[in-house]
Amino acid sequence: MKIAVCEGDGIGHEVIPPAKEVLKHFLPDADYFDVFVGYDKWKETGESSSDSDIALFKSSDAILFGAITTPPVPEYKSVILRIRQELDLYANLRPVKGSIFGQDFDIMIVRENTEGLYSGIEEIGEERSTTLRVITKHGSERIAKMACTLSIERGHKMPLVIGNKANVLKSDVLFRDSCIKTAGLMGVKTKPMFIDALTFDVLMHPLSYDVIVTTNLFGDILSDACGYLTGGLGMLPSANIGEKNAFFEPVHGSAPDIAGQGIANPSAAIRSAAMMLDYFGMKKEAGIVEDAVIKVISSGVKTPDLGGKNSTKEAGEKILEYIKKI
Amino acid sequence: MKIAVCEGDGIGHEVIPPAKEVLKHFLPDADYFDVFVGYDKWKETGESSSDSDIALFKSSDAILFGAITTPPVPEYKSVILRIRQELDLYANLRPVKGSIFGQDFDIMIVRENTEGLYSGIEEIGEERSTTLRVITKHGSERIAKMACTLSIERGHKMPLVIGNKANVLKSDVLFRDSCIKTAGLMGVKTKPMFIDALTFDVLMHPLSYDVIVTTNLFGDILSDACGYLTGGLGMLPSANIGEKNAFFEPVHGSAPDIAGQGIANPSAAIRSAAMMLDYFGMKKEAGIVEDAVIKVISSGVKTPDLGGKNSTKEAGEKILEYIKKI
Ligand SMILES: CC(C)[C@H](C(=O)O)[C@@H](O)C(=O)O
Ligand SMILES: CC(C)[C@H](C(=O)O)[C@@H](O)C(=O)O
């Protein structure tokens, strides 16, 4: 098993090492190798990722990724977008878990990750600029299949919600209808909702949601809105899955303001490692890691963002200790 | 002064009459005339709005509008979108007011209302459908001008936030830069933010926002997300402003589930009437109406959505009474 590890910039250097320790505990024999991309690389070499970095990522079975600082130049092209596109990582999975009025919610946002407004088909002009929003049947069906598989795995708790804006965008009629068709074939009930009303309702009633599938930019906004439900983005992991490769990263950024102080919360990175274990079919192990993160925090080991005084290192070590005891 | 009144469908028939009473109190000599569009019209005539309805709307100085039920046919074209486009109502103003931890927030979302993903430029196919997102310098500058005017009127409380996704969409580079340029000329400070991060942050820190300007569909989603901050959409008014016409409507829909029972909350419709007064330059009168809505509710006169037992009629009458006493 080949696992690429990329710390990236800023607090990436702090939160990835404990997440890697967790992986090593469960996968001691995997082949771990580092890939260096991001802002620091850009400062050194003038490019934030090279073709050979992408080749390295492609050669891996899974990628553990920290976060990247955006260089302050207008022509900068996002490394993350490059990786998503060149590795065709079409499914962006963003679980949002938390509790409200003493009840637990557990929402899985399944974001299409390669098309929609991220097509890159643009015309720039001084008077008028355009971006083409592209929805394909193929792209919609494969993301729907992923969402339905998750819905089935999770026990069909609620219908699959299809976030769309088909009342305005004809391109979303194709998305919605492809999702409904795929779900029908897989025996999954669906509930199409307009993205504006959905964003409002998921904030009001998070307990009423299970799996939500949506297009690229709607998923981007919806997942940040749901981040509010967990009190912040600091705890949220994500996975970007393709046919051949998979990429796991915390939702938070490189946080230059606290980088280097050793106080970043490693939970999101460690949970991203748990998503990798799940991806490798190690569901029990993924569950242990998830459990460890929650238990260690509720035992009082908290980094400053959670109101505590523990360091990244202390939090990471406690979580690893808890895991080793099971 | 010519004021078109359109109740529309469902609770539109209940919430518009008290809002019209409020207008009549301050504008007794205006020429009020009814326009009949919507689902009921569609059932009778096969079309939800006719060319002569649009001509009537165009002949008005302002429109008070209820809500419309969407007919259950795929080829239905939204009446509201038709009015926005044919009357070129380019600015959609969505104020969001409320309080959190005992402090009042007061956010004005200024949504561009004619272009972006609402261009209507679409190609439909079985394998691939596209929608063209169109941003123009003209469209961006005129919405920025509106937002800056509001920011100045409101006392420059905070920088004008520009909601955009210029890190992915080149079309938003034009939007962002046009807003920055216009604001510079008008002496307004700006703060560009990516729409995903903005949606999250406005939920976390509503007190830190004053005026937000953004593109069409981002404004649609963002304003519903902010609706959460007020505990629901039931209280929120909106204005759609053009060079010649202006259109005022509650954010809520026609609510078929409670229509006909006389229990709908008239606050959003009455606040929409207040926005019309403000539009006519009657700022003091608009303030009185705003005040009346808040005071009457906090005195305990509440429709069921607010946990009370009062009817639409009772709530409307109390608000009018309060206004008349001032
Ligand atoms: C950094 C940016 C290009 C990216 C996106 O828009 O997808 C980010 O917001 C995300 O959600 O991963
Ligand atoms: C009904 C729909 C076409 C409309 C929109 O998308 O603008 C609505 O959501 C709104 O916000 O007024």
Task: For A166-206, give the DSSP string.
Answer: TTT-THHHHHHHHHHHHHHHHT--EEEEEHHHHHHHHHH-G
Residue A168 pLDDT: 94
Residue A76 pLDDT: 79
Q: For residue A82, give every residue at least 6 positions away whose Cβ sits within 8 Å of its Cβ, in sequence order, or none.
A: A49, A54
The answer to whether the Cβ–Cβ distance between B74 and A173 falls below 8 Å is yes
Domains located in chain B, CATH noted: 1-89+242-326 (3.40.718.10), 96-232 (3.40.718.10)
Tell me the Cα Rg of chain B. Answer: 20
Q: How far is A135 from chain B (nearest CA, A)?
A: 5
Is the minimum distance from the CB of A185 to ligand 2 under 6 angstroms? no
Residue A233 pLDDT: 85
Residue B233 pLDDT: 85
CB B6 within 8 A of CB B66: yes
Residue A73 pLDDT: 81
Residue A77 pLDDT: 80
Tokens standing for residue A287? 């569950």
DSSP state of A116: B
Which atom of ligand 2 sits closest to the CA of residue A165?
Answer: 6
Residue from B73, B76, B82, B129 to probe the interface with A (highest A Cβ count within 10 Å): B129
The residue of chain B with its CA nearest to that of A173 is B129
Q: Which chain B residues contact residue A164 at CB under 8 A? A: none
The answer to whether the Cβ–Cβ distance between A124 and B173 falls below 8 Å is yes
Q: Where do the DSSP E strands lie in B81-207?
A: 91-100, 103-112, 122-123, 128-136, 160-164, 190-194
Residue B70 pLDDT: 86
Is the minimum distance from the CB of B185 to ligand 2 under 6 angstroms? no
Closest alpha carbon to A281 in A318, A246, A235, A250: A246
Cα–Cα distance for residue pair B79/B82, rounded to 1 Å: 5
For residue B190, the SS3 value is strand
Cα–Cα distance for residue pair A326/A167, rounded to 1 Å: 51
Mean pLDDT, rounded, for B152-175: 96
Tokens standing for residue A183? 């779900």
Distances in whole angstroms, Cα of residue B61 to Cα of each of A197, B90, B277: 31, 16, 12
B75 pLDDT more than 80: no
Reading across the β-sheet that carries B246-250, which strands appear in turn? B31-34, B2-8, B62-67, B246-250, B237-241, B91-100, B103-112, B211-214, B160-164, B190-194
The answer to whether the Cβ–Cβ distance between A204 and B173 falls below 8 Å is no
Question: Any idea which ligand is nearest the CA of B82?
Answer: 2
pLDDT in tens, chain A (326 residues): 999 999 999 999 999 999 999 999 999 999 999 999 999 999 999 999 999 999 999 999 999 999 999 888 877 788 999 999 999 999 999 999 999 999 999 999 999 999 999 999 999 999 999 999 999 999 999 999 999 999 999 999 999 999 999 999 999 999 999 999 999 999 999 999 999 999 999 999 999 999 999 999 999 999 999 999 998 888 999 999 999 999 999 999 999 999 999 999 999 999 999 999 999 999 999 999 999 999 999 999 999 999 999 999 999 999 999 999 98
Mean pLDDT, rounded, for B43-60: 95
Q: Which chain A residues contact residue B135 at CB under 8 A? A: 128-130
| In the block, residue with structure tokens 């990329």 | A6
Residue B225 pLDDT: 97
Instruction: Report the largest interatomic distance among the alpha carbons of chain B, rounded to a whole angstrom.
Output: 64
Burial of A128 (0-12, 13-18, 19+ CB in 10 A): middle
Phi, psi dihedral angles at B273 (to 5 degrees): -60, -40
Long-range CB pairs of A255-263, under 8 A, 24+ apart, other chains included: A255/A10, A255/A11, A255/A67, A256/A9, A256/A10, A256/A69, A258/A11, A259/A9, A259/A10, A259/A11, A259/A13, A259/A14, A262/A14, A262/A311, A262/A312, A262/A313, A263/A303, A263/A304, A263/A311, A263/A312
Residue A240 pLDDT: 98
Average pLDDT of chain B is: 96
The residue of chain A with its CA nearest to that of B222 is A196
Query: Which of B80, B96, B216 should be mutated for ligand 2, with most atoms under 8 A from CB?
Result: B80
Cα–Cα distance for residue pair B275/B271, rounded to 1 Å: 6
Alpha helices in chain A (DSSP H): 12-26, 39-45, 51-58, 79-86, 137-153, 171-186, 195-204, 216-227, 267-279, 283-298, 312-325
- Distance between alpha carbon A155 and the CA centroid of its chain, in Å? 22
Q: Whose CA is nearest to atom 10 of ligand 1?
A: A220
Residues with CB under 6 A from ligand 1: A 78, 80-81, 220; B 167-168, 196
Q: Which chain B residues contact residue A168 at CB under 8 A? A: 78, 81, 117-118, 217
Tokens standing for residue A113? 């990750």
Residue A70 pLDDT: 86
Alpha helices in B205-304 (DSSP H): 216-227, 267-279, 283-298
Residue B124 pLDDT: 96
Q: How far is B285 from chain A (nearest CA, A)?
A: 31
The answer to whether the Cβ–Cβ distance between A169 and B130 falls below 8 Å is no
DSSP state of A229: G
Mean pLDDT, rounded, for B216-243: 95
